[in-house]
Chain A
Amino acid sequence: MRQLVETLFAEAFDNPYLAKMEDQARLDLSALQAVGDRLAFATDSYVIQPLEFPGGDIGRLAVNGTVNDLAVGGARPLFLSCAFIIEEGLPLPLLQRIVRSMADAAREAGVKIVTGDTKVVPRGQADGLFINTSGVGVIPKGCELAATRCRPGDAVLVSGTLGDHGAAILNARGELGLESQWSSDCQPLHGLVEQMLARCSQVRALRDATRGGVAAVLHEFAQASACSMRLFEAALPVRPEVRGVCELLGLDALHFANEGKLVAVVAAEQAQALLAAMQAHPAGHEACIIGEVLAGPAGQVQILTGMGSERLLDLPTGELLPRIC
């Protein structure tokens, strides 16, 4: 099995770094320095059921997730490591599909998978397949994105519709019995980020809205900057199908995970320019201005409801539980 897997990886991810077959990838410093003056380094582990879902699979997710963690720091993602923990008995064709999809995702994102590891564990000790990826990217000189830089008056933007990934996964588990077909938004964001930063000098902070959704990101921004965030409920972009799932289960799309959407905070005077820059990129063509940064109370996130009243937006805790009864 092990042998088989290693050949599979070597073929799929084929690149000069990997082909050297050393225990470590060796990256040329001068090439990195040509891109910027700081390394960005990120890691994430991917655990998801089902392993394949509309719009992606765990492999594509593992590439794009780490690429996006680098991208929202303003970094150009360059290299990934990947480690597989495979449960004994995972069907080989499934593994092949996932590895190929991972290789495709890496190619599309312009990153190379330069080092890796595989462990096969006995049945019952893993849920099919776990993947960890770590990534290295380079941050161009002068790029200083940080949540602490949000200021009262700034505008809050989102790069597209909320909750597509979370709702697609819920539906893909087949328990909702919904016919409706929509896909996870799983996609790399570094191209979008590059375009945003090239056109707007006053972008304060970016973050990809994965687990905990846009709500969690806004809470992080509010806490880090000691400001408060106010959302306009009427401006939130949510696909009708996703809204249907939310209404059905008593859940909030603001809490749903996304895998290819970012939240941006920008100085008010550049809000329109940033919106235009985002909408001009395929990964941001449904971008919207969804809120603003207020002076306080520090750490709070509020929503201006469609009815014209204000309420708090809670920080999601743990697993999202549907309300049925």
Chain B
Amino acid sequence: MRYVDEFRDPAHARVLLQRVRERMALPALRQRHPVRIMEVCGGHTHTIFRHGLEALLPAGLELVHGPGCPVCVLPRERIDDCVAVAAHPGVILATFGDALRVPGTRASLQQARAEGADVRIVYSPLDALALARAHPQREVVFFALGFETTMPATALTVLQASRERIANFSLLCHHISIVPTLQALLEDKDVQLDGFIGPGHVSMVIGSHPYEFIAHRYQKPFVIAGFEPVDILQSVLMLLSQLAAGEACVENQYARVVAEGGNRQALAAVSEVFELREHALWRGLGDIPRSGMRLRQTYAAFDAERRFGLFDMAESVAPEPASACCDQVLKGCCQPKQCPLFGSECIPEHPVGALMVSSEGACAACYQYRR
């Protein structure tokens, strides 16, 4: 398969691994051991576990699994909102399959569906809009979830709905942005990181400029990476080269997909439709100011929060149990297996913490592939 197989080529991977080992042996890096690199995006976490990359890396090089899995950082209260909306008579709640098993404080959407709510899996927000067209007498609510990767499609769908004056369609908007969260991590004294593997899909939309502050202000190398094993290894090598040379800049390993300026049309649609929320809750990380999106006043008619009278979600959040180490794992201060709940109380079928929820979460990936 083009664009996949060449980036899974074992021979190529072996060459890269050899060069990673050589870099790690350089005096400049030897004194830094352990070198800790965070892969921001859940897609990368998944690739790393699925291809068993950690086991191939030399000692002294650690991968820290970051917060970039939208399902993992979804607060339970947001699922409660979805369940509550789905319980309204006449509502069809449309969601990506990703969110179906995420537990709320009482039930997941999957449980709500089993109890009779009309919850449907869609592959794109346009499918949800099609449901609204097909069922004019029903109220279709799309649970809009994800980073900048999925934001443009939601924005374009709202614009389409507005053009067609579709009255029975709305969004429960939980789009979030990864950039403020990276900044919050960098400000955190507990977090010791030497560089970042940057999110490929998000960058396809926003380009590489929004990360410049990471290199300039915080002096951390940042390499935007693709999702195949060879992409990841090559990005690790690029990061190590920067570190060895004492440099910090934003590089783009995923140039076959990511343009420096991002996707202008997509960005225009996003800023037409959405605005920043003052507050947004992240499961395991708490409130991160100006990291969430909501619909602008112009498109208020499509806002399910207003339609169903949900109050602003930043208000309340149920804490994780005290013995859970989610925040520690998220910040790279501890490995999933070091959490006392890992594999006992906390497993993918009944996750205690967010990271056990989706297979892109560090704990779930670790449980699924390593145990």
Contact = CB atoms under 8 A, between A and B. Distances in A.
A278 B46 CA distance: 35
Contacts of B139: none
A245 to B, nearest CB: 11
B371 interface: yes
A307 B147 contact: no
Interface in A267-325: 305-312, 314, 317, 319, 321-325
A243 B229 CA distance: 16
Specify the main secondary structure of chain B where it touches its partner: loop
A312 B100 contact: no
Interface stretch (B31-39, B120-128, B181-189): B120-128
Given A175-B122, A175-B123, A306-B8, A325 B150 contact: yes
Interface stretch (B20-28, B50-58, B307-315): B50-58
Contacts of A321: 97-98, 100-101, 121
A308 B10 contact: yes
A250 B359 contact: yes
A203 to B, nearest CB: 31
Interface string A58-80: 00000000000000000000000
B1 A240 contact: yes
B303 interface: no
Interface string B219-246: 0000000000100000000000000000
A244 interface: yes
Nearest to B127: A175
Contacts of A177: 123
A159 to B, nearest CB: 23
Given A310-B55, A311-B49, A325 B349 contact: no
Interface residues of B, number: 42
A176 interface: yes
A6 interface: no
A322 B51 CA distance: 19
A312 B71 contact: no
A37 interface: no
B353 interface: no
Nearest to B122: A175
Contact of B52 (A175, A243, A247, A307): A307
Interface in A234-254: 234, 240, 243-244, 247, 249-250
> 5 closest Cβ contacts across the A-B interface?
A309-B52, A325-B146, A321-B97, A324-B96, A311-B369
Given A314-B368, A321-B121, A323-B96, 16 more contacts: A176-B123, A177-B123, A247-B4, A305-B50, A307-B56, A308-B56, A309-B55, A311-B50, A311-B51, A317-B349, A322-B121, A323-B98, A323-B359, A323-B360, A324-B97, A325-B71
